[in-house]
Amino acid sequence: MAKKDKDKKQPVRPVIPEEDRIIKSEYSELMQKSYIDYAMSVIVARALPDIRDGLKPVQRRTLYSMNELGIRSDRPHRKSARIVGDTMGKYHPHGDSSIYDALVVMAQDFKKELPLIDGHGNFGNIEGDGAAAMRYTEARLEKITEEAFLADLDRDVVDFVPNFDETEKEPSVLPVRIPNFLINGSEGIAVGMATNTPPHNLAEAIDAQIAYLRNPGISTEGLMKYIKGPDFPTGGIVVNEQDLPEIYRTGQGRIRLRGRVEVEKGKSGHINLVVTEIPYTMVGAGIGKFLSDVAALSENKLTNDIIDITNQSSKEGIRIVIELRKDTDVENFKNMLYKKTRLEDTFGVNMLAIVDGRPETLGLKEILQAGADFQYEITRRKYTNLLEKEQHKKEIQEGLIRAVDVIDLIIEILRGSKDRNMAKRCLVTGDTAGIRFRYKESEIMASQLQFTEAQANAILEMRLYKLIGLEMEALIKEHEQTLANIYSYEDILERHESMTNVIKKDLEAMKKKYGRPRRTEITTAEEAVFTVGTAEKERDLLFVMDRFGYAKTMDPAAGERNKEAVEEAYRFHFICRSTGRVCLFTADGQMHTIKVQDLPAGRLRDKGVPVDNVSNFDSTKETVVQALSIETVCSSMLLFATESGLIKSVEGASFESSRRTVAATKLGEGDLVLFVAPLPDQGSVVLQSKAGYFLRFPVGQVPEKKKAALGVRGMKMGARDSLAAVHLLAEGESKVLTEGEKSVDLGRLRMSSRDGKSVKRL
């Protein structure tokens, strides 16, 4: 029975192809692995610089691509679009904008301590204007980029790896000969981490690197004798020098940075505070924000000292001028700028870089150690390569020198050989089979030859002019130089001290050629403290404005003494508060405000200032219908009347705004505001048309509307008629209008209703 069961055929399981098999996995584990893979890709391959050359992949690939295209410093500039296209197509498949942005930044001297690209065209500016499109700009490599970043690439000093589609080779790191990670700094946001390394002075960074090479046990404090602190392209002043040792020890911290401010004499005895250097963090749109913040100090009544602010910056440098009053406490005002604007800002330091394929935060000593290790590596590989080449040259030269001594024998071998291989075999192994010799002695001598393969090839390719005496002397001298080079290279490779001296010599040459004085001052300063200036005492002033748009303020008592002259000379005149504002209502439905403190105080005969200069009002396009104090506006109901006869009342409180210009009312097409005035609680409104028609109705019939609403019809008029004037009469008040021989007493007009029947009186 068991045997029968054994003989039964077992079912054959079908073979499932590998790609069709279902693999069960935990969803959370799969997501975690995928996210970690993505994060590491961004961290290592995109966002963070390599500690060895201080470059991100996109920067490294752009420079290498330009080098391969031959766009060097001694050749014409080439279109940026050509560079971006080549870089994207061969090495960096992440979009043209990221490549062009990296190219632009490497060409901006206000962002990089050491620009690596020479840009031609509009590459943006320090105030935040972007670069022109890549099709308009051109670029080429800077001289230092060729010498310190791309030299020796042909000497096997760094590893080359396949590009993204394995059709090209690219360097995994550039053989940078200076501590670029410190010199140019870096900024980048990865996944879960960010790098922000300040730039440093090239000469100081090289001095610190040399100090580390001389004494690897040097402390951070010892290195800071050479590196005083960051050196920003925009200059400025680092004011927390006492915090720098801890920042350089840990690689993290906050640097307090101030702009540089100078005091100059201005016009009329005023004080000019001139900002000549800005904090590095203000590069970009920060200058516009700074100007707004300074203006806000005055608007928020933190100071009354500011007269004017102008940005006079140009290609020559930063120059922001703040004009102050004569009696300004300059130090107090500077401290206010430091506290209330970005003239003092913080730079968050996090010196994060890729070290051996992993992100690490490094202190100053660790950065220089990594730089030294890299310099030793590329120097070792460079001189190993050079030594191999010199040894090959030595072998060839020795073979040629030996060959000259037996040149007659070699010629006889060549003449007696049937082909090149036969002659070469004889030179290398002494095999004389098949070669015809004229003398037996020659065959015996030929059998003793033992040249190397390389020597034999060189002998066979040697030209006859090399046998000239002078050429032989040159060959012997060249051989002596080759032997000297071999000795020197072997010494460099075998003795650590010799290799260190070579690296130091290269660094010192770079410092001598490209070093420059420091721009950023390092000091210790007290925390900025300021006091808010005592606000001007609030008092009444007389505002006057003539028909030409010139306005000023006067002492109310003087205005009362010259009441008739004021009424005759000025179109608008009323009492306002010294801390308040004046509202100008225009025919096109706008309301402009003027700060009373911006108006000059004067006497009756003084001219004043055009209201265009102290508000948004434009006298070439607008007409003032009414001027009122903000106190009057906000405490009243305002009556609006237009030329088409529309009227309405608006609550004055709705006009309270911090904006200098607001829309006062909505107008129909082609319509204009004719009349604006506070509407009394009692009394009557009289509308007068250009055709001489009048309509009188109670104040209570004027409807209340919003600012953004059209009015309602006040009186019926003919097709070609329009409103000419509006009169407000108190209870029992009378007013007589005269035109030629006709006159009309407005107080005796029959009381009607709004939009009622008008009567012709003039």
Which residues have a catalytic role annotated? 136
Total residues belonging to the chain? 762
Instruction: Determine contact, residues 617/551, Cβ cutoff 8 Å.
Output: no
Show the CA angle centred on residue 545, arms to residues 543 and 548, nearest 5°: 170
- Closest to 208 in 3D by CA, of 179, 176, 236, 181: 179
Give the type of residue at 483: L
Pair of tokens at residue 111:
């962002």
- Closest to 604 in 3D by CA, of 671, 524, 550, 662: 550
Three-state helix/strand/coil letters over 662-706: EECCCCCCCCCEEEEEECCCCCEEEEEECCCEEEEEEHHHCCECC
| Whole-angstrom distance, CA of residue 751 vs CA of residue 707 | 28
Instruction: Determine contact, residues 418/434, Cβ cutoff 8 Å.
Output: yes
Q: Enumerate the β-bridge partners of residue 311.
A: 320
Distances from the Cα of 648 to the Cαs of 83, 154, 653, 657, in angstroms? 66, 85, 15, 21
Residue 611, CB half-sphere, CA atoms under 13 Å: how many? Answer: 33
| Whole-angstrom distance, CA of residue 186 vs CA of residue 358 | 17
Pair of tokens at residue 520:
């950023």
Instruction: Determine contact, residues 552/600, Cβ cutoff 8 Å.
Output: yes
| Whole-angstrom distance, CA of residue 494 vs CA of residue 86 | 42
Show the CA angle centred on residue 715, arms to residues 714 and 719, nearest 5°: 125
State the helix-helix crossing angle for 330-340 and 286-299, rounded to 10 degrees: 120
Which residues neighbour 499 within 8 Å (Cβ) at sequence distance 6 or greater? 376, 379, 380, 383, 492, 493
Distances from the Cα of 417 to the Cαs of 79, 180, 407, 420, in angstroms? 58, 60, 15, 7
Query: Which helix H or strand E contains 510, and what residues bound it?
Result: helix 496-514
Q: For 305-411, where are the E strands, in sequence order?
A: 306-311, 320-324, 344-350, 352-355, 358-361
Pair of tokens at residue 71:
């766009």
Show the CA angle centred on residue 434, arms to residues 429 and 438, nearest 5°: 95
- Closest to 225 in 3D by CA, of 239, 244, 197: 244
Instruction: Determine contact, residues 626/695, Cβ cutoff 8 Å.
Output: no
Long-range contacts of 3-10 (CB under 8 A, 24+ apart): none
| Whole-angstrom distance, CA of residue 700 vs CA of residue 754 | 10
Instruction: Determine contact, residues 354/44, Cβ cutoff 8 Å.
Output: yes
| Whole-angstrom distance, CA of residue 141 vs CA of residue 144 | 8
In 152-276, which ranges are continuous DSSP H helix? 180-183, 202-214, 220-223, 244-250
> Which sign, positive or negative, has the C-alpha torsion 239, 240, 242, 245?
negative
DSSP state of 148: I
In 583-672, which ranges are continuous DSSP H helix? 630-634
Pair of tokens at residue 212:
């580390």
